[in-house]
Amino acid sequence: MHSNVPDAPDVPKVPKDLDPSIKILQIEITTNCNFRCLYCSHALDPQVFPESNNECNGLADGISNGLAEELDENYMSVKTFGNLARTSFGELDRLILYGVGEPLTHPHFIPMLDIARKYLPDHAQIEFTTNCSLLAPALLDQILPYRIHRIIVSMDTPFIVKNQEFRPGFTASIQDNLIYLGEQQRAGKIDIVAIESVISKVNLHDLPYLVDFCHEIGISTLYFSHLLPFSQDMLDQLLFVPVSKAAFDIMVNIVENGWEIINQLILTPSYIKIIEADKHPRIQHIFTRMDEARKNKIDVDLHKLTIMFQKVPQIQETYRVFEQVKNRAQQWGITVEIPPLFVDPERRECPFGARDALFITVDGNIVPCYNLARPHTLFINEHERVEHPYILGNILTMPDSITKLLATPEYIALAERLKNLPNAVPWCGDCIYSTQNCFYVKDNSGDCYGNQLGCNECLYSSGFVRCLFD
């Protein structure tokens, strides 16, 4: 990552012939969930996401097709969804019905599918993510006629007891639902059935067995995503490091040479005289590595030296397990997507911006991405960061297509920046100030390039945390 900061950010001009369009909409039809997964915002912030067991229990025998029920603020109304579909679904390539909550707890899920298919183009894909607890065969049979492209099931380990510990609400019947899902895929009634697993130190060594589990029940696709650290405890469970591989290698090498010098000092007190000499090889080696970093425009935060050195055994073990996962997946013919262990600042990509996608919250807010939907904390680069929502508008106050909002100079500037992330947005992981209480890492209000929305520590753009896109 380049250390030099541009004098002023480039603000794109509004093209006269602009014809903005959105190809993907991810809609949060509910924030209600019948699980309380330990790493989810539902468990971490129960005041924002209170338990709503009454609604969940009412779905035990299938989802209602009637529209007379009154819904609370945890659900998007069918009327709101229908208005959005009528005005904004006509040019979509993909519709994703998923947000913070479990979409199948919405009592009008089937009518929403009916509305979606009415207004979507014939080629458009529909998909959703679920914990699969409510997706019994009878309900799935009602859903599949709407030509669902992909269903992703959240599961972090193949072991039932451990799942019940991670994901309170998990039951053994989920495995039966998964088996039926796989059968329907093989019958050609759904394109993709996948399992998505959030990985951490707790379930790392379960991952090869999860591949075996997918093979046994007939699931052919498996996605892995690192943990999004909402708390200090979650930060301690991370398997990745938010620095570049080049910076990591330099820091580890410096520590290795530094510890050798310290060991020699302990064993041989007179060694200090050798160290004081300008030509001491290990001292010169450290300076040489730093000079190489500067010449290659690699920022190295020396404050992280011991932290990164302590990560070496975990990184090596995680890499070993990832290789084992790849080998088993190849053996069984299973498609796996594995996240990186380091960031490549020059290959960052905003999953939403790069694919002309937007996220719509349950209360109608239009936001650039899932991460900017509501306030939350993030623990990264040895500090706490506040992520504020970034709201572009609200569908409840927009009678026309949301594409009109996209023609504004504000959105165009944002979209251009997100499509050119490596050059337009800094990455703070390697910066020497990221661990020193820098103003620009306290929250996402801005960055040192002058951007008013700070995506400078986004774990989605780095590929560590997976968005629901291919």
How far is C-alpha 466 from the chain's CA centre?
4
User: According to the model, what pLDDT value does residue 264 have?
Assistant: 60
User: According to the model, what pLDDT value does residue 436 have?
Assistant: 86
User: According to the model, what pLDDT value does residue 39 have?
Assistant: 83
Query: Could you tell me if 298 and 287 are in contact, meaning their C-beta atoms sit under 8 angstroms apart?
Result: no
Residues in the chain: 470
Q: Which of 22-36, 40-54, 60-74, 159-173 has the lowest mean pLDDT?
A: 40-54
- Of all residues in the chain, the percent with pLDDT exceeding 90 is 65
- Which residues are bridge partners to 444 per DSSP? none
Give the integer Cα–Cα distance in Å for 286 and 37. 45
pLDDT digits (tens, 9 = 90+) for 229-243: 998 889 999 999 999
Query: Could you tell me if 67 and 79 are in contact, meaning their C-beta atoms sit under 8 angstroms apart?
Result: no
The three-point CA angle 402-403-406 to 5° equals 105
Banded model confidence at residue 221, pLDDT cuts 50, 70, 90: very high
Banded model confidence at residue 268, pLDDT cuts 50, 70, 90: low
User: According to the model, what pLDDT value does residue 223 have?
Assistant: 97
* Spatial CA neighbour of 178 closest among 157, 153, 202, 205: 153
User: According to the model, what pLDDT value does residue 314 have?
Assistant: 96
Strands (E) across 262-407 are located at 335-337, 357-360, 365-367, 376-380, 383-387, 393-394
Contacts for 330 with CB less than 8 Å, ≥ 6 apart:
none
Give the integer Cα–Cα distance in Å for 273 and 186. 73
Banded model confidence at residue 49, pLDDT cuts 50, 70, 90: low
Strands (E) across 280-361 are located at 335-337, 357-360
Banded model confidence at residue 284, pLDDT cuts 50, 70, 90: confident
pLDDT digits (tens, 9 = 90+) for 200-216: 999 999 999 999 999 99
pLDDT digits (tens, 9 = 90+) for 446-462: 999 999 999 999 999 99
Query: Could you tell me if 98 and 129 are in contact, meaning their C-beta atoms sit under 8 angstroms apart?
Result: yes
Phi, psi of 30 (to 5 degrees): -160, 150
Residue in the block written with tokens 């183009």: 121
**What residue type is assigned to position 283 of the chain?**
I
What is the three-class DSSP state of 452?
Answer: coil
Question: Cβ–Cβ contacts within 10 Å for residue 191, how many?
Answer: 13
User: According to the model, what pLDDT value does residue 174 have?
Assistant: 95
Give the integer Cα–Cα distance in Å for 455 and 423. 12
For the chain, state the CA radius of gyration.
Answer: 25
DSSP single-letter state for residue 351: T
Residue in the block written with tokens 């001009």: 13
The three-point CA angle 41-45-50 to 5° equals 100
Tokens of 73: 């603020």
User: According to the model, what pLDDT value does residue 66 have?
Assistant: 55
* Spatial CA neighbour of 9 closest among 452, 318, 317, 410: 452
Average pLDDT, the chain: 86
**What residue type is assigned to position 140 of the chain?**
L
Query: Could you tell me if 101 and 362 are in contact, meaning their C-beta atoms sit under 8 angstroms apart?
Result: yes
Give the integer Cα–Cα distance in Å for 214 and 456. 36
**Mean pLDDT along residues 291-308:** 84
**Mean pLDDT along residues 398-420:** 88
pLDDT digits (tens, 9 = 90+) for 66-125: 555 568 889 999 999 999 999 999 999 999 999 999 999 999 999 999 999 999 999 999
**Mean pLDDT along residues 377-394:** 93
Contacts for 144 with CB less than 8 Å, ≥ 6 apart:
184, 189, 190
Give the integer Cα–Cα distance in Å for 93 and 238. 34
pLDDT digits (tens, 9 = 90+) for 335-369: 999 999 999 999 999 999 999 999 999 999 999 99
DSSP single-letter state for residue 443: B
User: According to the model, what pLDDT value does residue 44 have?
Assistant: 58
C-alpha distances (whole Å) from 156 to each of 77, 204, 227, 376 are 31, 9, 11, 23
User: According to the model, what pLDDT value does residue 51 have?
Assistant: 55
Phi, psi of 226 (to 5 degrees): -70, 165
User: According to the model, what pLDDT value does residue 415 have?
Assistant: 92
* Spatial CA neighbour of 392 closest among 400, 375, 404: 404
pLDDT above 60 for 331: yes
* Rounded-to-10 torsion of CA 344, 373, 107, 22: -70
